[in-house]
Every structure is written in C-alpha cells, then in structure tokens.
Amino acid sequence: MKVGYVFTRTLSAVFLIIATNCKLLAGVIPDSNTTEPLALRKIMSDLGKNMQTITDGISREDWKLVKKAASQIADHPQPPFVESIQILSFVGSNVSLFKDHDNKTHNAAIALGKAATEKDGYKVITAFSILQNTCLTCHQNFRKSFQEHFYN
Ligand code: HEC
C-alpha cells in the first residue's frame, strides 16, 4: 500500500515535470501553425533596410556606406538553431535550391562590396541590380509557401 502510494506520487511528479517541460518547450519551439513571426522575418526586414541604405549611399556616392551595408547583407545572421531545423525540414527536398538562393545573394553582395571599394558607381548600380534579382528569385520561389506553412 505504502509502496503503491510512493509509486503514484513519483509518477505524478514525473508527469508534472514532463508537462512543465512541454510548456517550456512550447515557448521555445514555435509551432508551425502559429502567427508568431519567424526570426527569419526580422533578418529579412534588416536585409530590406540595408538595401535602402545602399540606394541612399548610391545617391550620395557614399561608397563606404554602400560597402558597409553590402557586407551586412553578405554576412546576415542565421535564424536560431531550432528555427533553422524547422525551415530545413519544411523546404525538404528543395533544401539545395533554398541554400543556392542564399549563396547567390551572398555572392552578389560580395560583388557589390567590391564595386563599392573601386568607387565605380556604374558597376555598383549593376551589382546592386544583380543582388536585387537574387532576392526576388528566392521570394518568388519560397515566400508564399513559407507564409502558408508558418502562418495562418
Ligand atoms: C533563401 C531565400 C531568400 C533570400 C535569398 C532572400 N529572402 Fe527575403 N524572404 C524570404 C522568405 C521565405 C520570406 C518570407 C518570410 C516571412 O514572411 O516570415 C522573405 C521575406 C522578406 C521580406 C519581408 C519581411 C517582412 O517583414 O515581412 C523582406 C523585406 C525581404 N525578404 C528582403 C530580402 C532582401 C533585401 C533580400 C536580398 C538581399 C532577400 N530578402 C533575400 C526568403 C529569402
């Protein structure tokens, strides 16, 4: 009887721990059908701001500013580990396509930075347009399905 009681208490304690942990995890791991924005969205929004800085830099012929913003695009942060896993598992067999788009953006931003170092305005504008195309291509391929999957 006593052993049974201890056993039941232990069992309920274990369940409590599991339940609490699930609650904690639920806070950390965003559910795939939540309206909580992805960290990716903030990263993207910052890329957008960097692009605006670049157009401003071009207008002012401030090549240092262009170079700085281009390098921030090239080295943009990655989403946190758990979100990266969710993204990779969602893109599934398209993972190499997704990564390829990211690499193209990276390389185009590096090329833009080089043009800015050379202070060659026309080259900067051409490189900027190539960069914009890399953003657009990934958006056309992935934005809609990401939003359908990660937000309701
Ligand atoms: C590898 C794919 C990929 C590349 C490359 C990419 N994006 Fe995105 N971007 C996305 C996805 C997916 C979304 C939708 C995310 C969401 O709605 O949460 C997005 C959304 C955005 C948004 C909207 C953010 C918001 O607040 O709704 C902006 C701005 C943006 N991207 C800018 C850029 C810029 C600028 C570049 C290039 C320098 C770029 N992105 C390159 C995948 C990409």
Give the Å distance between the CA of 26 and the centre of ligand 1: 25
Which amino acid is located at 4 in the chain? G
Please list, in sequence order, all residues whose beta carbon lies within 8 angstroms of the beta carbon of residue 149, skipping any fewer than 6 positions away: 32, 90
Residues 109, 92, single domain; the answer is yes
> Does residue 101's CB lie within 6 angstroms of at least one atom of ligand 1?
yes
Residues 128, 78, single domain; the answer is yes
Rounded to an integer, the average pLDDT of 28-56 is 85
Q: What is the pLDDT of residues 65-113, one digit of tens each?
A: 999 999 999 999 999 999 999 999 999 999 999 999 999 999 999 999 9
Rounded to an integer, the average pLDDT of 50-62 is 98
Tokens representing residue 16 in the block: 């409590």
Three-point CA angle 18, 24, 25, nearest 5°: 85
Q: How confident is the model at residue 2, as a pLDDT? A: 54
Confidence of residue 8 (pLDDT cuts 50, 70, 90): very low
List for the chain the helix, strand, coil content (%; round to 5): 85, 0, 15
Give the atom of ligand 1 at the shortest distance from the alpha carbon of 50: 35
Residue among 72, 55, 53 nearest 113 (CA): 72
Its domain, for residue 10, covers 1-30
CATH code, domain with 75: 1.20.120.10
> Does residue 76's CB lie within 6 angstroms of at least one atom of ligand 1?
no
Give the Å distance between the CA of 148 and the centre of ligand 1: 15
Residues 70, 137, single domain; the answer is yes
Residues 20, 44, single domain; the answer is no
Q: How confident is the model at residue 109, as a pLDDT? A: 98
Residues 64, 118, single domain; the answer is yes
Give the atom of ligand 1 at the shortest distance from the alpha carbon of 47: 35
Which residue is associated with the tokens 């391929």? 141
